Amino acid sequence: MSKLPKFSELSVLSEIPESSNIPKRIQCVLFDLDNTLVGIPNTYSYFDTIIQEVVEQDFHLSLPSKETRDFLWRSGKNFIEILAQWGIQNPHQFWEYFDKRDGIKRQDLISKGQLILYSDVIPTLTRLQQQKIPMGIVTNTPNFIALPELEHFHLKSFFGTVIGLGDDQEKAKPEPDGVFEALNDLNAQPENAIFVGDSSVDVLAARNAGVYPVRISRKNKRSSGSKRLQGIQYSKIDGLIDLFSLFHFVSID
């Protein structure tokens, strides 16, 4: 097939301002999972409750302040230090307890039908798949939780790779490791890829991997950490369908 863009594609391209540095020819799309594709109701209190339960019920320690609990999410590799300040010397044990509780609660949400599949997900993934754009997921949720979630919503077949967080919390976003792994699995180059996520951690992980970040705002979701994104170039969208007016998708083959 000819590599020359069709007229209709050119007209889309011309809508992008000349001065924009956003990449125009995209060959690979990576997504965050939670609150990007699948919504967790009351996300903030959902995860904060798990932290509280792990600290108080599993470690029998007193509860750290709300501010330090919030900071844990954005800490990257510094989580070891933060947990040590709370009196937790074995961070891996902390995440083991955390994931176990998350897994049980997530199953419960699925069985009660309380996880939300956003309405723009299937149309967007279908369109990208039709355009032969390789897609992957990079999530800080472990695979044993992410995969059943994807299966439940029949999303698994869209993705060439799903990089959940393994035992190595030090590779959690905003570290770029998961993004690199996904690009490698999909044979894609960072400069031809975008990463779509809802949180500042996603924007930072993308930037750290040299992938162009796209931040989606989902209604009723708490958006935090924007201050940390000052000076970083990324695009904001209100729905996944907006991707098609911002970018020109080009299949590698």
Q: Which residues bind Mg ion (CB under 5 A)?
A: 32, 34-35, 198-199
Distances (CA, A) of 154 to 58, 114, 126, 131, 148: 34, 16, 12, 19, 10
Q: Which is nearer to Mg ion, 59 or 159 (CB)?
A: 159
CB of 236 to Mg ion, least distance (A): 15
Distances (CA, A) of 226 to 5, 104, 130, 139, 208: 36, 31, 34, 20, 16
Distances (CA, A) of 241 to 123, 158, 174, 211: 8, 16, 25, 20
Return all residues near 54 (Cβ < 8 A) that are at least 6 apart.
94, 97, 98, 101
Q: Which is nearer to Mg ion, 34 or 177 (CB)?
A: 34
Residue 122 sits at the vertex; the CA angle it makes with 130 and 172, to the nearest 5 degrees, is 100
CB of 43 to Mg ion, least distance (A): 8
Q: Which is nearer to Mg ion, 228 or 248 (CB)?
A: 228
Nearest by Cα to 21 from 247, 252, 249 = 247
Q: Which is nearer to Mg ion, 93 or 224 (CB)?
A: 224
CB of 35 to Mg ion, least distance (A): 4
Q: Which is nearer to Mg ion, 27 or 36 (CB)?
A: 36
Q: Which is nearer to Mg ion, 32 or 149 (CB)?
A: 32
Burial degree of 218 (CB within 10 A; 0-12, 13-18, 19+): middle
CB of 114 to Mg ion, least distance (A): 17
CB of 218 to Mg ion, least distance (A): 9
DSSP 171: G
CB of 57 to Mg ion, least distance (A): 26
